Chain A
C-alpha cells in the first residue's frame, strides 16, 4: 500500500432486485496500490457491489466517487472512460474471433474501408504482452486455455494514455479464478499483485480463502448484502474471516486430535458432513469398476484404476489434466478412446452411451457444465430428472407412464430436497444453481445406477447447498454406490474421498490414501514434471 488516500469511495450503496435486497447501505473505500478482496457467501452481494462500482448495475441509493468525481450510476461508459474496469465471467467474448479482434472489438482500426489487421494486432500485442508475451494474438480466442482467456480479458483494461500512463485506475476482478486450475490461478494472482504495484486499485471478488491470504492486502466482508468489516489481511486469521462471513464460529475439535496436516477448512467440512470419523472402504471384495490402459489421442495416456462398491474415489489435478476427458471416455462420449472399462466384469468401452447407462451396467454421469451439458431449459423439472430412464418406465411401444414417472420424480425430489414450485410447470431456469445441481445428481439416482461420475458437482453454488450435496454424495456411497469425484475445490475433494488419484497431462500421476491426502501432496503430484501446466 503505497498511498493512504482512497481513489475510489463508495458510500451508502443500496441495490434491490425485485424482492431481494442485494446490497444494503454498503460503504467501502479502495486505496491505490492495494489488492482489496470482497468476500462473502454466495448471495452476500460481493459480485453486485463489484458491478455497481463498474457501472454494470445502477444502485438505488448511494454514490461512487472516483478521485472526487461522482460516477454516473449504471453507466458502464462513464466508469470505463473514468478508469474503472471490470473483468467478469459473463463478459462478452467471441471464441471464434482472434484474440486481437476480441481486444479491439469496441474500436476496430481501419484502413480505408478495410480492417487494418496489422494495426489491430500491434495494439493487441502491446496490451497482452504486458501480462504474457507468449500469447499469439492472431489465434482464435477459443483456442486458448481458460487461464489465458482470463489474462486477455484483464489485458483489455490496460490501455494507456498517449503519455504512457495507464487509463485504468481501478480494476474489478469478479471471481477471476473460479474456472482456473491452481497453477493458472497463481499466475493470475501474481498479475493482480503486479498491477497493484503499478498504482492501480485491484478489487478482487472471490470466495477462495487461500487466495485472500496469498495476494490481498485488505479484505471487506459482506453478509446478506450488508457491510460486516474491512480487515487488513496480515492482521487477521482464517477462522475470524469465516466467522464474519457466516456470522458464527465453526468449531473444529478434531483438527489437532488426529494429528493430520489437513487444513482447518477441510476439518470443518468433515465435521459438518459427518465424515470426520469415516474409515476408508475396504478393498476385500471385487472392484466394481475396472479401468485398464485407457488412452485417447491427445487427451488420455494409459489410465488405469479400480473402484470398489461404496467408495468415493477423488480425482485431483489441474484444469486440463484430463479428468473430464477420462469421464468422457468411460461414458463412451469420447468415441476414440481405446483400452478396457469393465463394470462388474462386463466390458462397456465402445458400446455407446446407451450401453453405459444400460440397466445392467448402471453408469451415471453428472458433467461439469450444468447449463451446457446438463439441463433442458425448455422442459419441466420432472422430465429433466426422468430423461435417461423415461424409456424404461414407458410401455413397450413407448407411451409414457405418467403416474410412475411422477411418483419417481416426487421421491427423488423429496430425498434431495429440491425446492421447486411445481413438478412439470417449473423449468430448471427458475431454480437456484444449487437446486439445479441437485436435480442433475438426482437424475442418476435410479435403482440400477452402480457407478456415478461426478465432475465438479458443487461449482458455483452457495455454501449451504454445498454441504447438503456433500451429505447426499456420502449417503449415496454409504448405500453402496461407487463414485468417481472430480473436483478443483480442495477441501471438498479431501473431505469426501476415501482415496485420491491425481491426474496430470492425461495420465494418472499417483494415488494418495489416509494421511497422505493433503493439499500439498496433491499439488506436488499434479505439477510433477510439467511445472508450467498453464501452457
Chain B
C-alpha cells in the first residue's frame, strides 16, 4: 500500500511555501521585528543586568557564614571575600548557597539576597511591557487601518481616547470601592465606548454629510474633544486627573497578574487584530471599504452605499478609541487630561509602517498591529541602549520614512514583475 505514498507529486501551480510567505505584506514587518529582537537579545546577553532578589527561607531559620574550611563565623567577623558558603539552617535541615551566587547578606533585616543576571530585553516582563505599551494605540490602529484604506484620515483619535477615558473615569469613580468586576467592567466599557462611538459617528457623518474632507473635520474635532477633556474635570472636580476606581476593575481585571506579568491589554490588542482582520478580509463590509478606497466613483456606480460604509468606519474607529481608553483606565487606575496626547501620529505611523497607503485602497490590520509593536520596540531599543528618551521622536520619524520608502520600493518591484 505504499504506492500512494510514492505517487509522483502533482506539479502545483502554487509557489513554494517560503516564497508565498515572503509575498505577504506582513512578512517584511515580522522580519524587522525578528531582526530588532535578535539584535537586542544579543546585546542583552553581552550586557546583562544584575539584580538581587531576596531568598525565601523558612521562619526561624538562621544564616550561617562558612569559610573555605567549613568554619562558622559571625556576621561582621569575616571578610566578604573569605566567605565560601552561606548556610541557611532551619532546625536540622541545611541549605547551602555557594558565595558566588549570593549578592549580599543584609544583617539588619536578616535577608539573604540572591544574585540574578537578566537579559534586559529577553525577559517576560520586558516583552509584555513592550507589547502592552504598543497595545493601547495598536487597538486604535485597527480602526485607523479602515480609515486609511478609505483614503481618509482621522486626526481626532487621541482626543477621543482622552475624552472617553475622562468620562469613563468619572463613572468609575462614582461606583462604590467594593463593586465587583462583573459590574465595574461593563459599566466602564459601555461608558467609554459610547463616548468613542458618538465621537466617531460625528466625525463620519459630518465629513460625509457636509462633504468636507475628513482631515478638516477630524482636525476640528481633535481640538474640540481635547478641550472638553481638559474642561470637564476642571469644572466638576477642579483637578487634572481622576482616579480612585474599584480595585476589581484595575488589579482585578485590566491589570490582573498572570505568571508575574500583566497581559490583559495585550490580549485585547490581539483579539482586536484578529477581529479586524476578519472583518476587512472576510465580510462584505470589509471588501466595500477596499472598493471605496480603490475607486470611490466606481464604488458608487457599482451600487455600494459609499456614505454609509464611510460613516461606519469612522464610528468603529471611535468605538475602538473608547475600548482602548477603558483598558488604559484599568491598567493605570487613573485618567489624566493629557491622556492620548499626540496619539494620532503614533496610530497613523503604526498603520503606515504596517503597509497602509495614504492614497487608499491598501492596508492590513495585522500590519498595523505589527507596526505599533515595531514603534515600541524602537522605543525599547533606546531604553536598553540607555539613550536619552528625547531622541525617541527623531528615531521614530526616521523609522516611518524608511518603512514607507521600503514598502513603496517593494511595490514598484512587484509591479514591474507583473
Interface residues of A (CB under 8 A from B): 331, 333, 353-354, 356-357, 365, 367, 372-379, 383, 387-388, 390-391, 394, 398-400, 430, 443
Set A353, A357, A373, A394: member contacting B284, Cβ < 8 A? A394
- Would you give the shortest CB distance from B410 to chain A, in whole angstroms? 16
Identity of the chain A residue whose Cβ is nearest the Cβ of B281 in the assembled complex: A400
Distance between Cα atoms of A333 and B295 in the complex (Å): 16
* B288 surroundings in chain A (CB, below 8 A): 390
B81 lies within 8 A of chain A by Cβ? no
Interface bits B127-168 vs A (CB < 8 Å: 1, else 0): 000000000000000000000000000000000000000000
- A-B CB contact pairs (8 Å), 13 listed: A333-B300, A333-B301, A354-B303, A357-B303, A367-B301, A372-B295, A372-B298, A377-B294, A378-B290, A387-B291, A387-B302, A388-B304, A443-B302
Size bin of chain B's contact surface:
20 to 34
B24 lies within 8 A of chain A by Cβ? no
- Would you give the shortest CB distance from B302 to chain A, in whole angstroms? 4
- Would you give the shortest CB distance from B294 to chain A, in whole angstroms? 4
A365 B295 Cβ-Cβ under 8 A: no
B285 A379 Cβ-Cβ under 8 A: no
* A443 surroundings in chain B (CB, below 8 A): 302
CB-based closest 6 A-B pairs: A378-B361, A378-B294, A357-B303, A376-B294, A387-B302, A388-B303
Distance between Cα atoms of A89 and B304 in the complex (Å): 30
B301 A379 Cβ-Cβ under 8 A: no
* A387 surroundings in chain B (CB, below 8 A): 287, 291, 299, 302, 304
A398 B284 Cβ-Cβ under 8 A: yes
Identify 15 new A-B residue pairs, CB closer than 8 A, beyond the known A378-B293, A387-B302: A357-B303, A367-B301, A372-B297, A373-B297, A373-B298, A375-B295, A376-B290, A376-B294, A376-B299, A378-B294, A379-B287, A383-B290, A383-B291, A387-B287, A388-B303
* A375 surroundings in chain B (CB, below 8 A): 295, 298
Interface centre among B283, B305, B361 (most CB of A within 10 A): B283
* B291 surroundings in chain A (CB, below 8 A): 376, 379, 383, 387
Identity of the chain B residue whose Cβ is nearest the Cβ of A443 in the assembled complex: B302
A400 B297 Cβ-Cβ under 8 A: no
- Would you give the shortest CB distance from B127 to chain A, in whole angstroms? 34
The tally of CB-CB contacts under 8 A between chains A and B is: 73
Distance between Cα atoms of A376 and B295 in the complex (Å): 6
B362 lies within 8 A of chain A by Cβ? yes
- Would you give the shortest CB distance from B304 to chain A, in whole angstroms? 7
Interface bits B276-290 vs A (CB < 8 Å: 1, else 0): 000000111101101
Interface centre among B288, B298, B302, B361 (most CB of A within 10 A): B302
A374 B298 Cβ-Cβ under 8 A: yes
Interface bits B230-268 vs A (CB < 8 Å: 1, else 0): 000000000000000000000000000000000000000
Chain B stretch 271-327: residues in CB contact (< 8 A) with chain A: 282-285, 287-288, 290-291, 293-295, 297-305
Distance between Cα atoms of A333 and B296 in the complex (Å): 13
Interface centre among B282, B284, B297, B299 (most CB of A within 10 A): B284
Distance between Cα atoms of A354 and B297 in the complex (Å): 15
Distance between Cα atoms of A118 and B143 in the complex (Å): 51
* B294 surroundings in chain A (CB, below 8 A): 376-379
* B59 surroundings in chain A (CB, below 8 A): none
Distance between Cα atoms of A483 and B302 in the complex (Å): 17
* A383 surroundings in chain B (CB, below 8 A): 287, 290-291
Set B285, B305, B418: member contacting A430, Cβ < 8 A? B418
Set B283, B293, B303: member contacting A400, Cβ < 8 A? B283
Interface centre among A353, A372, A375, A378 (most CB of B within 10 A): A378
Distance between Cα atoms of A394 and B302 in the complex (Å): 17
Distance between Cα atoms of A400 and B293 in the complex (Å): 19
B287 A400 Cβ-Cβ under 8 A: yes
B283 A394 Cβ-Cβ under 8 A: yes
- Would you give the shortest CB distance from A385 to chain B, in whole angstroms? 10
Distance between Cα atoms of A451 and B15 in the complex (Å): 43
* A376 surroundings in chain B (CB, below 8 A): 290-291, 294-295, 298-299, 361
A390 B298 Cβ-Cβ under 8 A: no
* A374 surroundings in chain B (CB, below 8 A): 295, 298, 301
Distance between Cα atoms of A391 and B418 in the complex (Å): 31
- Would you give the shortest CB distance from B225 to chain A, in whole angstroms? 30
B283 A379 Cβ-Cβ under 8 A: no
- Would you give the shortest CB distance from A352 to chain B, in whole angstroms? 8
* A331 surroundings in chain B (CB, below 8 A): 301
Interface residues of B (CB under 8 A from A): 282-285, 287-288, 290-291, 293-295, 297-305, 361-362, 418
Distance between Cα atoms of A365 and B283 in the complex (Å): 24
B290 A390 Cβ-Cβ under 8 A: no
A353 B303 Cβ-Cβ under 8 A: yes
B290 A399 Cβ-Cβ under 8 A: no
Distance between Cα atoms of A430 and B416 in the complex (Å): 11
| A379 touching B284 in the complex, CB below 8 Å, given contacts A333-B300, A373-B298, A374-B301 | no
- Would you give the shortest CB distance from A325 to chain B, in whole angstroms? 14
Identity of the chain A residue whose Cβ is nearest the Cβ of B149 in the assembled complex: A378
Distance between Cα atoms of A394 and B297 in the complex (Å): 23
Identity of the chain B residue whose Cβ is nearest the Cβ of A374 in the assembled complex: B298
- Would you give the shortest CB distance from A447 to chain B, in whole angstroms? 16
- Would you give the shortest CB distance from A331 to chain B, in whole angstroms? 8
Distance between Cα atoms of A373 and B291 in the complex (Å): 12
Distance between Cα atoms of A372 and B295 in the complex (Å): 7
* B301 surroundings in chain A (CB, below 8 A): 331, 333, 353, 365, 367, 373-374
* B305 surroundings in chain A (CB, below 8 A): 353-354
Set B283, B293, B302, B361: member contacting A399, Cβ < 8 A? B283
B362 A378 Cβ-Cβ under 8 A: yes
* B282 surroundings in chain A (CB, below 8 A): 399-400
* A430 surroundings in chain B (CB, below 8 A): 418
- Would you give the shortest CB distance from A364 to chain B, in whole angstroms? 9
B303 A390 Cβ-Cβ under 8 A: no
Distance between Cα atoms of A378 and B305 in the complex (Å): 19
Distance between Cα atoms of A333 and B304 in the complex (Å): 12
Distance between Cα atoms of A499 and B302 in the complex (Å): 27
- Would you give the shortest CB distance from B30 to chain A, in whole angstroms? 21
* A357 surroundings in chain B (CB, below 8 A): 303
Distance between Cα atoms of A383 and B293 in the complex (Å): 14
A390 B287 Cβ-Cβ under 8 A: yes
- Would you give the shortest CB distance from B182 to chain A, in whole angstroms? 27
Interface centre among B288, B293, B294 (most CB of A within 10 A): B294
A400 B362 Cβ-Cβ under 8 A: no
- Would you give the shortest CB distance from A504 to chain B, in whole angstroms? 25
* B295 surroundings in chain A (CB, below 8 A): 372, 374-378
Distance between Cα atoms of A378 and B303 in the complex (Å): 18
Interface centre among B283, B287, B361 (most CB of A within 10 A): B287
| A356 touching B290 in the complex, CB below 8 Å, given contacts A374-B298, A398-B283 | no
Distance between Cα atoms of A367 and B297 in the complex (Å): 10
A400 B302 Cβ-Cβ under 8 A: no
- Would you give the shortest CB distance from A507 to chain B, in whole angstroms? 25
* B361 surroundings in chain A (CB, below 8 A): 376-378
* A398 surroundings in chain B (CB, below 8 A): 283-285
- Would you give the shortest CB distance from A460 to chain B, in whole angstroms? 17
- Would you give the shortest CB distance from A54 to chain B, in whole angstroms? 25
Set B293, B297, B302, B418: member contacting A388, Cβ < 8 A? B302
Identity of the chain A residue whose Cβ is nearest the Cβ of B361 in the assembled complex: A378
A353 B300 Cβ-Cβ under 8 A: yes
* A356 surroundings in chain B (CB, below 8 A): 303
Identity of the chain B residue whose Cβ is nearest the Cβ of A328 in the assembled complex: B301
